[in-house]
Amino acid sequence: MGLKEHVLYRLALTPLMLLVLLTLVFFLMRVLPGDPITMLEGKNIPEEVLARRRAELGLDKPLHVQYVNYLYSVFVKLDLGVTALERIPVSYLIATRLPATVDLAIAASLVAIGIGVAMGLLSARYEESWFPQFARVYSSVVYSIPVFYLGLLLQVGLARPSGLPTTGRLSPVNMVALDSLPVRTGFVLIDSLANGRLDIAADYLVHMLLPALTLGIYLSGIFTRVTYLSVSDAMVQDYTRAARARGIREWRVVTRYGFRNALIPLLTMAGLQVAALLGGAVLTETTFNWEGVGLLVYEGILKRDYAIVQGAVTVYALIVALVSLVVDVAYTLVDPRVRY
């Protein structure tokens, strides 16, 4: 099987994975008590009003009919549906929110990989010192700490003394200014820079700092661990000893022999962490009122807005599938032995 066939094969599997996921989410959401109308109006609205409004949303139909209708809409019409009350297309909502989540995910990944790789490499290089023990404790602590709690800690510990913003993506003034810019991609950084508004870009980065640190630190634990373990595993291989016997500098041995070979397990792990990244983003966005897809999902669950949650899950699933495909292709770059 060539690389192309492999990619096509993986793509062909994606709809199947999506079907399983959507089925799960569809029924899970409906197991939750309440529906969009009772969540909005409370339980004390007249019986006939409730029935009428449920009929408007199609919620009076049998569950299996709703299920088939929804799948038909997603897989055949490629339509994610509309929100329950305002009747806004879900795809539009997600499209406007996605850039914020992508920005946060990228920034958090940079933090996680930066901290994780640095601490992992230092642990492997100075194996005999106190540092690996410290890194080990650090990893366990940040990995087991709840994301929203870590967010609150940073808000209290960092934002209060420094005056960093703890909520939103931009100051209100810049929010308005952004809307009036001629070039609009939805990515604040690109938009503000393309229009020469450095001040907005800076404001955005300052707002992003705490959410990115929160999510990044949370994920950095596992990166630290995996980097350390894979590098030290490579460091006891024969080729590493042979490199030392040739008088190769120790840092070079750690990076070119240790880290370069550790990239293979590290890449696998990074691919698997995308799901954790998106899940963590939901909690981070909620904590910092960061208006991305995660916040949308959170609100969608609270409002029992089925279409929003299902739509977001579809997008999440596509992202995870895409990333794991990219990881598969990246293997061929990292490991010369891998051929599809």
Partner 1 sequence: MSLLRVQDLWVRYRTRRGVVEALSGVSLSVEEGEVLGVVGESGSGKSTLGLAVIRLLPRSAEVRGSVLLNGKDLTSLPEEELRRIRGREVSMVFQDPYSSLNPVMRIGDHFVELMMEHGAAATREEALEAAGELLERLGVPRERLNDYPHQLSGGQRQRVAIGLALILKPRLVIADEITTALDALVERQIIDLVKEVKREYRTSMLFITHNMGLVAEVADRVAVLYAGKLAELGEVREVVSNPLHPYTEALLRSVPRIGGSRELRPIPGEPPDMRNPPPGCRFHPRCPLATERCRREEPPLVERGGRLVACHLRS
Please give the residue ranges that form the binding site for partner 1 (CB under 8 A): 128, 237-239, 241-250, 252, 256-257, 260-261, 263, 334-337
Write out 172-194 in H/E/C secondary structure.
HHHHHHHHCCCCCCCCHHHHHHH
Cα 297 to Cα 57, 64, 162, 301, 307, distances in angstroms: 20, 24, 31, 6, 10
Count Cβ atoms below 10 Å from residue 5 Cβ, excluding itself.
10
Q: How far is the CB of 236 from partner 1 (least distance, A)?
A: 9
The one-letter amino acid at 81: G
The alpha carbon of residue 305 and the mean position of all alpha carbons in its chain are separated, in whole angstroms, by 21
Q: Which is nearer to partner 1, 79 or 335 (CB)?
A: 335
Q: Which is nearer to partner 1, 134 or 239 (CB)?
A: 239
Q: Which is nearer to partner 1, 248 or 276 (CB)?
A: 248
Q: How far is the CB of 269 from partner 1 (least distance, A)?
A: 17
What is the torsional sign of CA 189, 193, 198, 200?
negative
Cβ-contact 198, 188 below 8 angstroms: no
Q: Which is nearer to partner 1, 119 or 243 (CB)?
A: 243
Q: How far is the CB of 249 from partner 1 (least distance, A)?
A: 7
Q: How far is the CB of 230 from partner 1 (least distance, A)?
A: 13
Q: Which is nearer to partner 1, 54 or 256 (CB)?
A: 256
Q: How far is the CB of 127 from partner 1 (least distance, A)?
A: 9
Q: Which is nearer to partner 1, 10 or 256 (CB)?
A: 256
**Exposed / middle / buried, residue 281 (Cβ in 10 Å: 0-12, 13-18, 19+):** buried
Length, in residues, of the chain? 340
**Nearest CA among 140, 108, 143, 40 for reference residue 288:** 108
Q: Which is nearer to partner 1, 250 or 299 (CB)?
A: 250
Q: How far is the CB of 33 from partner 1 (least distance, A)?
A: 55
Cβ-contact 286, 298 below 8 angstroms: yes
Q: How far is the CB of 116 from partner 1 (least distance, A)?
A: 20
